[in-house]
Chain A
Amino acid sequence: MTATEILFWFLSALALFSALMVLVSKNPVHSVLWLIVVFFSISGHYILLNAQFLAIVNLIVYAGAIMVLFLFVIMLMNLNNSTEPQKNSLVKLAGVVAGCLLLTVFVSAVRSAQEIKDSQALMNTGDIGLIENLGKVLFRDYVIPFELSSILFLSAMVGAVVIGKKE
């Protein structure tokens, strides 16, 4: 077992474990902290795939900005056990059944997908995730979606002003 493989298995186990902890934790602040661990381990996977830029962006945007927003929202709402909505057991059961069905579909999808078994991700050699290649793809092949997404952000900004401004 090479070092890369050991790292891969370690990061995968960490990601799965902390993702479970996000759901299981009673305290919402703990959930958010576990979520940060998930993002860090996923960023680790990106680095293993030689996509450093993606790893850093993932950390800055998700573990940094979005998690801070999450924490703010949780603090502002002042959540505790008494405010937690009580769901009846029938809804919970339905949720479990639906979730298990979705899991079954996914597992069978991955099992029957031949192309995944044959091919392996490029580890440490591929340079597709480097910022130079990313920039080339973004501004050559995907320049039209890139430009059009500016309309999306512009409308979001207009919305923020319209909703947020005092009348």
Chain B
Amino acid sequence: MNAIIFSAGWGIIMMFCSFLVKNQSSYRHIAAVGLLVLLAANIFDTYGVDFFHIDSGKMLAYTRFGFVFNSIAIASTLIYVLLTGRDIERLGRYTAEFFTLVFFVLCGVCLLSAYNNLLMLFLGIEILTIPLYILTGSDKRNLKSNEAALKYFLMGSFSTGLMLMGIALMYGGTGTFLLESSRLQSNLYHGISFLEIVGLLFLLASMCFKVSAAPFHFWTPDVYDGAPSVVTSFMATIVKVAGFIAFLKLCTVRMSVTSTAIDWKLIFSIIIILTLLFGNITAIFQQSVKRMLAYSSISQAGFMLFALFSMNEYASKGLLMYSVAYCLATIGLFAVLVKMKDVTFEGYNGLAKTQPVLAATNAIFLFSLAGIPLTAGFLAKYYMLASIIKTGTYTWVVVAGVLFAAISVYYYFRVIQAMYFKNGEPQMESFGRSFKLGLVVLAAIIIIVGAFPQALFNWLYF
């Protein structure tokens, strides 16, 4: 509860800052302090120190996994704000409101990691996405940004409608909104209601939309490309991973008990293959790095779907690892991308000569996304593949996963090739030494987590 209340509270503080604090550049410092407070509050919560004793009446169920994920999300946001804070200021006159919405999104993230009631799932998803519609359109004078916001809003509300319909049907099938309850168990004992299955299918479609899994991914490239780069960085990482955490809980609780009536594994394996196929094949043909990253986020979503397929201990550990590896690497890549004047592959030509530190850290982020050993991304992919092997069935999904991972190396390495082996004069915005330092720290975290994964997993137990 700490994290939920603190994030909502600090969001309101940021709103007040927008007219009480005149100095534009102090907003990001206030936001960074807020995120630190939030992180501390969440860590207190992890170890049982709850500042607010609120009986949620089974609406929320806290787990260590959820707390650890909250910490990862908050820490990633902190890194995001520290790295790209200056670029957020350049977005327009509403810097404080931008941070307000970021805090509200975090509130949604904390709800999604702890929900135990379909109503809370709905609220969490909505608190997560409504600020994003606004952030997507925050570059008001840019037509592409407007188009992206409208597209995202219309399709997003349609998928929310599907979700509500699904929840209503599931309520009809089981008579309860609770994810886990004794009533549900006894109802299931009498036979699984068809309404429950149809409801779950609706929910599956809507959640697949939110995490941009094929065949519900068509909004992703346009929205990620049209939105201002700083916003894309946020919504392609923390928000997407939070969607997966919610999805995983739904799968492990509701879908696993209905697996006698419907073959979820088959459905998920089809979704996985389609997502990997669409994401990877289209990413190859992109000329803009930003658009390539949008497609790559679809293909990374395909790998995260592995966790929903297998639903075992490896899967939840793997998803945690994936969220660290994917969030940090993508935030780093976007932090550099925001500074570039030209975001096509040509724009990166010769970066290694003019900015060796940026090029080297960028290369490490790309290694991590591609899954090269010694980076966190390798272990993340390893855990995902291992989780499916543990289930003992559908080995062809693993084979396809490995093949598509190999394909993804091609388009990630095109950026490295442009940076190191081509000549050119990349045009960049100005940045300070602290920015470089931040990137180096980020790259170091990725390598440390990749080399010592126990540093992360120990958190789940101690």
In the assembly, what is the distance between CA of A154 and CA of B123, in Å?
13
20 intermolecular pairs with C-beta atoms under 8 Å apart: A109-B169, A109-B195, A109-B197, A114-B191, A115-B173, A144-B56, A144-B59, A144-B120, A148-B127, A149-B123, A151-B104, A152-B127, A152-B130, A155-B101, A158-B15, A158-B104, A159-B101, A162-B134, A163-B134, A167-B93
Contact A142 B93 (CB under 8 A): no
In the assembly, what is the distance between CA of A116 and CA of B191, in Å?
14
Within 8 A of A (CB), among B24-74: 54, 56-57, 59-60
Contact A113 B173 (CB under 8 A): yes
Q: Which residues of A contact B54 (CB under 8 A)?
A: 144
For the complex of A and B, the 6 pairs showing the least CB-CB separation, nearest first, are A159-B134, A155-B104, A112-B194, A109-B194, A109-B198, A155-B131
Instruction: Tell me the interface secondary structure of chain B in the complex.
Output: helix
Q: Which residues of B contact A115 (CB under 8 A)?
A: 173, 193
The 8 A CB mask of B9-25 against A (1 = contact, 0 = none) is 00110010000000000
Name which residue of chain B comes closest to A167, CB basis.
B93
Asked if A10 CB lies within 8 Å of chain B CBs, one says no
Contact B97 A156 (CB under 8 A): no
In the assembly, what is the distance between CA of A160 and CA of B119, in Å?
25
Within 8 A of A (CB), among B160-205: 169, 172-173, 191, 193-195, 197-198
Binding site for A on B (CB under 8 A): 4, 8, 11-12, 15, 54, 56-57, 59-60, 92-94, 97, 100-101, 104, 107, 111, 117, 119-120, 123, 126-127, 130-131, 133-134, 137-138, 140, 169, 172-173, 191, 193-195, 197-198
CB distance from B325 to the nearest CB of A (A): 29
Contact B195 A162 (CB under 8 A): no
* New A-B contacts (15) at CB < 8 Å, excluding given A116-B172, A144-B57: A105-B198, A109-B195, A109-B198, A114-B191, A114-B193, A144-B54, A145-B117, A145-B119, A145-B120, A149-B123, A151-B104, A152-B126, A155-B104, A158-B101, A159-B130
In the assembly, what is the distance between CA of A156 and CA of B127, in Å?
9
The 8 A CB mask of A63-83 against B (1 = contact, 0 = none) is 000000000000000000000
> A105, A144, A155, A159 — which one has the most chain B CB atoms within 10 A of its CB?
A155
Asked if A106 CB lies within 8 Å of chain B CBs, one says yes
The 8 A CB mask of A114-136 against B (1 = contact, 0 = none) is 11100000000000000000000
> A113, A145, A158, A167 — which one has the most chain B CB atoms within 10 A of its CB?
A158
Q: Which residues of B contact A112 (CB under 8 A)?
A: 194
Q: Which residues of A contact B111 (CB under 8 A)?
A: 148
CB distance from B419 to the nearest CB of A (A): 36
Asked if A141 CB lies within 8 Å of chain B CBs, one says yes
Contact B104 A148 (CB under 8 A): no
In the assembly, what is the distance between CA of A113 and CA of B107, in Å?
37
CB distance from A45 to the nearest CB of B (A): 15
Contact A161 B97 (CB under 8 A): yes
Q: Which residues of A contact B11 (CB under 8 A)?
A: 151, 154-155
Name which residue of chain A comes closest to B138, CB basis.
A162
Contact A142 B119 (CB under 8 A): yes
In the assembly, what is the distance between CA of A152 and CA of B126, in Å?
7
Contact B123 A148 (CB under 8 A): yes
Q: Which residues of A contact B97 (CB under 8 A)?
A: 158, 161-162
